[in-house]
Amino acid sequence: MLKITFPDGSVREFEKGVTISDVAGAVSSSLRKKSLAGFVNDVLYDINRPINEDANVRIITTDDQEANEILNHSTAHLLAHAVKRLYPHALFWVGPVVEEGFYYDIDLGVDSLNEEHLVKIEKEMAKIVSENISIERLELLKQEALKMFEKDPYKIDLIQNLDENEIITVYKQNDFVDLCRGPHLTKTGQIKAFKLTKVAGAYFKGDAKNKMLQRIYGIAFFKKEELENYLYVIEEAKKRDHRKLGKELELFMISEYGPGFPFWLPNGMILRRQLEDFWYKVHTKEGYQFIQTPIMLNKQLWETSGHWFNYRENMYTSEIDNLEFAIKPMNCPGGLLVYKNNLHSYKDLPLRVGELGLVHRHEASGALAGLFRVRTFTQDDAHIFCREDQIVDEVANLIKLFEYVYSVFNLNFHIELSTRPLDKYIGSIDVWEKAEAALADACKKYGRTFKVNPGDGAFYGPKLDFKLRDSLGRIWQCGTIQLDMNLPERFDITYIDEKGEKKRPVMLHRAIYGSIERFIGIIIEHYAGAFPLWLAPRQVDIIPVNNEFHQDYAKEVFDLLLDENIRINLDSREEKIGYKIRESQIKKVPYSIVLGDKEKENRQVTFRRYGDQESYTVSLDEFVKLLKDEVKNKVHHTNK
């Protein structure tokens, strides 16, 4: 008999060779039906793999995130099986699970796939699903594996890198077999809803010197409704692409003369300034002071900060007066120099210093993508210097501030605690553990749950990452709070405590937007370009029914709204009124107002909100009040 310990601490005895399926069934038949695999002493096991020793067991059901990974990995093998049937000469490299589904890298020789071929492959996949083929796990020694895959150079390459005595696992489904650690589903018939999404090129091992393989992407879900919702989001996302809308709404442009360096057009500058003004107002209320630090600083500064040794490949450099300089990739070292400019007392802390700082980072040309991945951007940075006993309260207050700012944009979020990287970090492990505990305590104090993201901290300290969920349910990384006990040491910054002795402050790095450029890209897609009134570059279109009879009143309304700081456009073109209204809707202007005889006579306006079919007539004074209240309260309207 062996002992199985469950996550709740309870222990039950089973015969040697028991499986996850048996264990789940012993708990309840409903758990057995939902079970797909399990962790056995922290190792993933297939549901029918025997357990031969005492173990801690956690059962994975269809409700767990790991279940989606198992499903998608099984579907990747289903894809490869179908391709092998259709193209018997095909050879396969790797087929991992990724954030959105899976992919498989395939060598088809001279055959080239396009989107139309994916439909054919999907049909073959569906056929294999209908055959409900058993998926078997086999264990091989290295020499056995080399023999099995002797005609496949890609698999031989993988196998040769393994230890001589290592047990190698393969998964077999009828006439298809592939190397894999698993786990997998037990039958192909369990794969109910899947879609191949695209095909692209990928170099073998990611090296441009190697052969170009074909990479097929796909995704799978347990329910057809989940797949249908995903496909809807994909189509909707295409319509909301910030690059497409940025061009249509004349917000920004990218020139071939500056890849990764956005140009802001007049409408984009208005949007950008609204975000900056909001940022300054919010932070002024929170007691922040504001600075601006130079864009280029001496190499010695970056050596002191550690960037020169840990981030050099991403930095732009130049020479001035025979000395090496670097354009700043981060604002932090400049903020530290500002702190050192004065003496500080414990009474001054926490000291909150904000900077909208322009930074430059050398990104690979292939990674550039609109505003989401650029080479120059403005970080909405703030550096908070505080005592150790202030950390928890200060971070808790920051979480509250982040919560407020994101709520203004109707964005929800969850928090991830990123801990010490395995390598490329500075400072002692003791200091890291202390900092990580402080961030966790702050989340608990404010009542926010968080997920631990091991090894993803910055090189100088752990961090809280704020993952936003937009109107399509997509997740974006924006805000961050990074706790730094290392740079204060490197820069030798101090404050005088109540005993008159020098003490080292703790430094918090934090950004809410993340970068203004990327945040604008996110909210373009979040709002589908239909910004709330306070953000919209053009807030109101005034459309006179007849220029000859209604132009005077239209000009009066124009002047009145202009005095109230409303961003307006008077459309006096000799075009049909229906054409003007449609164009205003295409440009996603929040309010279109029509002025005719009735409106002129009664000092009224007839307005229509973007996305609404209904028109409303109110007095001019009521309309002005409506606009001012909506701007002041940053109101959201659900566009239909």
Q: Which of 105, 107, 190, 332 is catalytic?
A: 332
**Token pair of 60 as six digits:** 């994975």
Distance, in Å, from the CA atom of 183 to the CA atom of 277, rounded to the nearest integer, reads: 52
Q: How far is CA 369 from CA 126, 231, 252, 255, 427, in A?
A: 35, 22, 13, 13, 34
State the catalytic residue, choosing from 46, 105, 107, 381. Answer: 381
Specify whether 46 is catalytic.
no
Buried b (16+ CB within 10 A) or exposed e, 88-99: eebbbbbbebee
Rounded Cα distance, 218 and 70, in Å: 14
393 is catalytic: no
Examine the residue annotation and report whether 361 is marked as an active-site residue of this protein. yes
Annotated active-site residue in 77, 117, 155, 361:
361
49, 84, 463, 510: which is the annotated catalytic residue?
463
Q: Is 463 a catalytic residue?
A: yes
Q: Which of 173, 190, 379, 482 is catalytic?
A: 379
**H/E run at residue 181:** none
Region for residue 410 given its phi and psi (left: phi exceeds 0; alpha: psi -120 to 50; beta: otherwise): left
Is 381 catalytic? The answer is yes
Separation of alpha carbons 582 and 592, rounded Å: 10
Give dist(CA 24, CA 47) in Å, integer: 9
Query: For residue 379, which of 511, 480, 491, 548 has the smallest C-alpha distance?
Result: 511
Q: Is 608 a catalytic residue?
A: no
Catalytic residue among 81, 509, 510, 587: 509
Dist CA 222 CA 194 (whole Å): 9
CB 203, CB 210: distance < 8 Å: yes
Which one of the listed residues 32, 195, 383, 510 is annotated catalytic?
383
Q: Which two tokens mark 17?
A: 């060779």
Active site residue 598: no
- Cite the beta strand spans of 51-135 per DSSP E: 55-61, 91-92, 97-98, 101-107
Distance CA 54, CA 247 (A): 62
End-to-end alpha carbon distance in the chain: 63
Q: Which residues are catalytic?
A: 332, 361, 379, 381, 383, 463, 509
